[in-house]
Amino acid sequence: MSMEIPYTVEARPDTGLTNGKLGIWLFLASEVMLFGALFASYVMLRVGSQNWPPGSTYLNIPLATLNTVILISSSVTMVLAWASIAKHDFKRFRLFMGITILCGFGFLIVKYFEYSAKFHHELYPSTNTFLAIYFTLTGLHGLHVIGGMAVNSYLWGPGSALYKTDPVHFMNRVENSGLFWHLVDLVWIFLFPILYLL
Amino acid sequence: MAQTTVAHGAAPAHDAHHEELGFWRKYVFSVDHKVIGIQYAVTGLLFLLFGFSLMMLMRWQLAYPGQALPLIGALLGEARTPGGIMLPEFYNELGAMHGTIMVFLGVVPLAVGGFGNFVLPLQIGAPDMAFPRINMASYWSYFLGGCVMLASFFVPGGAAQSGWTSYAPLSDIAGSGQTWWLFGMVFLITSSLLGSINFIVTTIQLRAPGLSFWRLPFFVWAQFVTAFLLLLAFPPLEGAAFLQLMDRLAHTSFFLPSGLVVSGQALQVAGGGNPLLWQHLFWFLAHPEVYVLILPAMGIVAEVIANNTRKPLWGYRSMVYSLIFLGFMSFIVWAHHMFITGMGTTMAAFFQTTTMIISIPSVVILSSLFISLYGGSIRFTTPMLFALGFLPMFGIGGLTGLPLGLTASDIHLHDTYYVIGHFHYVVAPGTIFGLFAGIYYWFPKATGRMMNETLGRIHFWGSFVFMNVIFTPMFIMGMAGVSRRLYDGGASYAHAQGVLHWNVVSSWGAWSLALFQLPFIFNFFWSIFRGKKVDDNPWHATTIEWAAPSPPPHGNFASQPVAHRGPYDYSVPGAARDYSPQWEAVGA
């Protein structure tokens, strides 16, 4: 496979984009449509229901607030990781990328406690439509968190070997992974109010 | 010219014979867009044949309800056809899977995965797709989705039976085949998403030097807009599939209303859901999907018409603007599939209006193609015959859609055979004719050999006649009020008695159509080995794919092609030949 595809590393002059960056933005657009459809479903179910419970009936707002703080912090460290690699500071990159991954873990651990508390009280997706949409939306979002963590862990670990041979290419990958991570963060920022607060 | 300002990564020529790949990497797990395109096309053609076979079984039951299927009836087993007579459940399986297979496993993979993959990078002078490995993943995701769909025929209770639209609540409470259908769809949607990102990035990033957007062939534009539709319309269906999986596996009630009674017993679920939510999510995908089916075929037809009239396309820019407008509008017409669900008149009026508006760009494109014929010295080659067949057939399909888009007439026509006739005219003698045109047209590029013209003509005329024999009666039956999805084809309904005989006509048309596909199948395989050998540009075409060797090697072009002119410079006054290829410098 020696044939080279142009603009994988340097941007095409007239579009100002690398292939990967355009690709990740398009992927994010499709993700917006996916979550957009589910948010729209939430609205339709809620508008059509007789008595929609306030989120606090079932959900733990302080825990979710903690998770919001964790996830927003991880977006900040993600940017710092990218800025570090852009300044060719590999050690700081690993530090901040590591913190980003740990934040992901922290988020999932809190989520685990939330879920198991629900199950403990025999609250399941089948209990009512509010819990159904709660578990579906947070579950799908959780899968996205895991996906983002997997990519970030690869870039923190084995994937970082690319930095030695092609630092610009590696920096692009960190940026693209960061864009996805910010989307995961952004989705949560919508989920938090509609499920917990409103 | 701008050719020197854009530096490409590497000239592919010296890489073409860099290393020999093993059989598996070269032909099976290939990352070469041409191999992937051919994989998509062949798999898609096989699924088209399979989906058509399901329909041929159904046509027996429709023409001769309750009579034993000759020969095949005994082979299908007692569980499906006891004594050779088709069970209603099996009929429903065939119906649901015919639609699913034709749309998601046949036409889209062939039109987008097949032609898009093979032709698009060549037409823009690129060495490959932007993400070759994602491209391979896209094919194999499609392949897995196809396997899941096929396997579902053999699970207890059989394949999905709730129609290709999988309307809830029926689909929520259906047998396990429906779960397989949903998982299959998730694979197919993933495949389309990966593919669409690849097509958009490739078109924007890998255009050859000098190939500005206004110099792109219409086919590339069509694929480009199609890719946006796939990218943005499929995720909502994926979301809907997740919700339905939750309903089926975690016993939620997204699509189950409170107090639902099934077979005389109250369903033990929480309720509170909304069956119409599924319809909204489904049609939000499925209406743009209609344009996913038709736009690539329009692109192919435009290429073939320009090439065989030896004239530039009439109104190229209007066609491109129409395409973009069409793509945009296709996202805001979906509820015209739902006029009789009890929506308010304001909503109905809105969707009726957008539906009438979206017909305008379609008419602009079709009219431009018709006007392009005017004054041309037309070569009646096989691809041109199919392209010419496409025009009136798609026209009938489009015009018969108008009464369905108007709320008043839709009340009578909704869910009748009229609807079936309408969208089959769009997709079968419409899109599939376009795809056949493309196969005959690009076959010499893929193999270096021509397909046989005589067999091609037999294939065309037989298909053209029998497509109409199948689908014209459906309009008559539909206007008489015969509903779709009836196990006995309407035999037990008083109002259908006067038109029942048309079922027999339609069925014999379908079986005859199958007969006329045999010359095509034979021609396809025979021509791979025995077809007439031709040079790189046998049709004397102008677009860049014809600059590559036939078949193109890995990396496609001997040297980076440069675009010097628009895509359809045919019969340029003063030129030595009646075609001036894009890749040849002006004045050369």
CB contact under 8 A, A3 and B127: yes
Rounded to the nearest 5°, which phi and psi values hold at B555?
100, -10
Q: Is A128 on the interface with B (CB under 8 A)?
A: yes
Do B236 and A49 lie within an 8 Å CB cutoff? no
**Mean pLDDT confidence for A95-104:** 98
Strand partners, B483: B416
Q: Is residue A12 part of a domain?
A: no
Neighbours of B568 (CB within 10 A): 28
Q: Establish if A105 belongs to a structural domain.
A: yes
Residue A4's pLDDT is what? 85
Domain boundaries, chain B: 21-255+273-547
Q: What is the mean pLDDT of residues A4-19?
A: 94
Per-residue pLDDT at A138 exceeds 70: yes
Q: Three-class SS of residue B531?
A: coil
- CA-CA distance, B527 to A41, in Å (whole number)? 52
**Residues B126, B23: contact at Cβ < 8 Å?**
no
pLDDT tens digits, residue range A34-60? 999 999 999 999 999 988 999 999 999
- The pLDDT of residue B2: 36
Strand-pair partners of B265: B262
- Rounded to whole angstroms, the Cα distance separating B22 from B427 reads 39
B290 within 8 A of A168, measured Cβ to Cβ: no
Residue A67 sits in a domain whose CATH number is: 1.20.120.80
| Pick from B5, B198, B272: CB nearest A129 | B272
Q: What percent of chain B has pLDDT over 90?
A: 92
Q: In chain A, how many domains are there?
A: 1
Picking from B450, B500, B456, B451, the residue whose alpha carbon sits closest to that of residue B474 is: B500
Q: Does A16 touch chain B (CB under 8 A)?
A: no
Query: What ipTM was reported for this prediction?
Result: 0.96
Asked which of A3-7, A19-23, B152-156 is least confident by mean pLDDT, the reply is A3-7
- Domain assignment present for A151: yes
* Element housing B262 (H / E): strand B261-262
- Where in the sequence is the domain holding A36, given as residue range(s)? 19-50+59-197
In this prediction, residue B19 carries a pLDDT of 59
Residues A180, A8, B127, B14, Cα dihedral to 10°: -150
In the predicted structure, residue A127 carries a pLDDT above the cut 50: yes
pLDDT at B8: 42
Region A138-158: what's the mean pLDDT?
98
Where is B218: in which H helix or E strand?
Answer: helix B218-249
Asked if A22's CB is within 8 angstroms of B204's CB, the reply is yes
In Å, how far is B406's CA from the nearest CA of chain A?
26
pLDDT at residue B16, as a whole number? 44
**C-beta of residue B444 within 8 angstroms of C-beta of residue B491:** no
CA dist B412 to B108, B400, B408, B471, B490, Å?
A: 31, 14, 8, 19, 16
Does residue A9 belong to any structural domain of this protein? no
Instruction: For residue B442, give both structure tokens.
Output: 């690009």
In the block, residue with structure tokens 């791979």: B528
Which residue of chain A is at minimal alpha-carbon distance from B129? A5
Q: How many CA atoms lie within 13 A of A10 on its CB side?
A: 8
How does pLDDT run across B25-68, given as a tens digit for each residue? 888 899 999 999 999 999 999 999 999 999 999 999 999 999 99
Residue B570's beta-bridge partner residues? B579
Residue A27 in any domain: the answer is yes
In a domain, A87, yes or no: yes
In a domain, A8, yes or no: no
Residue A2 has pLDDT above 90, yes or no: no
- Which residues of chain B, if any, have pLDDT below 70? 1-19, 587-588
pLDDT digits (tens, 9 = 90+) for B233-268: 999 999 999 999 999 999 999 999 999 999 999 999
Q: Which residues contact B138 (CB under 8 A, 6 or more apart)?
A: B36, B113, B191, B192, B194, B195, B198
Right CATH number for B21-255+273-547 from 2.30.30.230, 2.60.120.460, 3.40.50.300, 1.20.210.10?
Answer: 1.20.210.10
